[in-house]
Amino acid sequence: MKKACPFLFLILTTLSFHLSVFADIRLPSVIGSNMVLQQQSDCKLWGWCEPNEKIYITASWNNRTDSAIGTRDAKWMVPIPTPAAGGPYTLTLKGRNTIILQNLMIGEVWICSGQSNMEMSGPRRLPDIRDELAACATNDIHFFRIPRTTAAWPQEGCSGEWTACDSNTLKSFSAAAYFFGRKLNQELHVPIGLIESAWGGTPAEVWTPAALVNEDAALAESAKRLEVTDGWPYTPGLCYNGMIAPVVPYNIKGAIWYQGESNTIAPETYSRLFSTMIASWRRAWNKELSFYYVQIAPFTYDRPGEGSLLREQQALTMKLLPGTGMVVISDLVSDTTDIHPKDKHDVGLRLAGWALAETYHKDGIVYRSPSFKSMEVRGDKIAIQLENAPQGLIVKGPHVKTLFVAGADQQFYPADAKWENGHWIVRSPQVKDPVAVRYQFSNAGIGNVFGREGLPLAPFRTDDWALADLAK
């Protein structure tokens, strides 16, 4: 008997290996075991395969089989309908190979993005997380964490894996996002999927498609003023391409956002930038995503007024775009020299309050901070009309902090105030003819005025004087 040619055997083996590899159905990492799919919707599944390969997808929640055919670009995508919340389920994909995804849950899915205050995690840094570890394990909250990634062009995949919440997975996941998701789970009684896509130190430009920044003269000019360091990217679009675009086909309910500190160097255009970013995400997902965000906390920034102007721009965004909401956290700061406040528990709960009230239409939730509406000069006093203060205001302490009044000379003096007949009456004995009021309008000032329902009065000013005047 003739001996087989070793070279022919090697060639056939190699060819067989490559054919089997290229024929396999392949999935992006966000489509995997332990994932949470958005309930009662069409959820897209997608991936790669051989051109013209037929793929069959069977879901255990209805035993229905859907199919897709690979395109000439070796891609496939198919929407599958999801039922009301429940699980765990399995999903079986069959082509030339078979993939079985297990422990799938159906519920509510949110993306959680921003910079370090969203990214912040770990029991050593956060006492609230340390206290959670013993009893946090649940199959009703699942995490998907996207590692720090940049790309010059929008990507179709990213690293990461879905995991159920437990004492190990929680240690490295966003604390604010966890407390947000835990509150939703407690109130809605459905599984919650949280996708963390955050990077400390990043400005909003990197989370916005580059063309939208570069082709807008005002935004492009502000982007040039960003501080360039070795710790994080600053080029527009890089994080959007690497950390948002890869999960855009994945159906989500909304987004929570905690960012802004890195944009204080050019605060005057932040509302324009932030609105552009939110609108671009909504176009990408082709839906009016609920979008709730955190106003930056008091902090001792180097330049006068930069923090207060950034907060003002954040508040303006909420008025410009429907379906958005801002959480005020000026009362959750114990050290204004630390840009990372430790209280992420209440931040998450306040974000959840917006979602429960506005997205899920739950009644009886206090979620909007009192905020400035209008003013009227009454002799030596100014009457402030507020929104979201149906029962009036209370002061925690003997007198109001961080409240100032100015006349036409733009010189501000400490003031006091009282609630009277539905208005906040503000006066200072040093200003006989007042024209402007500012409350907590400084980088690091912490106010002590609250609505009777419990949330802090949002920082505000009634004037529109130039940035240079804030130093006064």
- The whole-angstrom separation of Cα 140 and Cα 38 is 13
Averaged pLDDT for residues 56-79: 96
Tokens of 271: 């509302």
Among 43-52, 297-306, 450-459, the range scoring the smallest mean pLDDT is 297-306
Q: Which residues of 91-105 are buried (b: 16+ CB within 10 A; e: fewer)?
A: bebbbeeebebebbb
SS3 19: helix
The pLDDT of residue 2: 46
The pLDDT of residue 16: 42
* pLDDT value at 23 more than 80: no
Residue with tokens 């340390």: 130
* pLDDT value at 4 more than 80: no
Averaged pLDDT for residues 327-355: 97
> For residues 98 and 303, which has the higher predicted lDDT (pLDDT)?
98
Q: How confident is residue 467, by pLDDT bands cut at 50, 70 and 90?
A: low
SS3 196: strand
Mean pLDDT of the chain: 94
What is the location of CATH 2.60.40.10 in the chain? 22-106
CB 204 within 8 A of CB 310: no
Tokens of 457: 């009065």
Report the DSSP beta bridge partners of residue 47. Answer: 76
What is the location of CATH 3.40.50.1110 in the chain? 107-359
The pLDDT of residue 401: 97
* pLDDT value at 66 more than 90: yes
Topology of domain 107-359, per CATH? Answer: Rossmann fold (3.40.50)
Helix (H) or strand (E) holding 311: helix 306-320
Q: How confident is residue 19, by pLDDT bands cut at 50, 70 and 90?
A: very low
CB 243 within 8 A of CB 289: no
Q: How confident is residue 231, by pLDDT bands cut at 50, 70 and 90?
A: confident
Q: How confident is residue 112, by pLDDT bands cut at 50, 70 and 90?
A: very high
Q: Is the dihedral of CA 184, 190, 196, 202 positive or negative?
A: negative
The pLDDT of residue 173: 98
Q: How confident is residue 468, by pLDDT bands cut at 50, 70 and 90?
A: low
The pLDDT of residue 22: 55
Q: How confident is residue 304, by pLDDT bands cut at 50, 70 and 90?
A: confident
Topology of domain 22-106, per CATH? Answer: Immunoglobulin-like (2.60.40)
- The whole-angstrom separation of Cα 300 and Cα 307 is 8
The pLDDT of residue 54: 96
The pLDDT of residue 14: 47
At a CB cut-off of 8 Å and minimum separation 6, what does 128 contact? Answer: 175, 179, 342, 343, 344, 345
Among 123-127, 162-166, 350-354, the range scoring the smallest mean pLDDT is 123-127
CB 39 within 8 A of CB 85: yes
Averaged pLDDT for residues 409-425: 96
CB 289 within 8 A of CB 252: yes
Q: Is the dihedral of CA 402, 406, 412, 417 positive or negative?
A: negative
Q: How confident is residue 305, by pLDDT bands cut at 50, 70 and 90?
A: confident
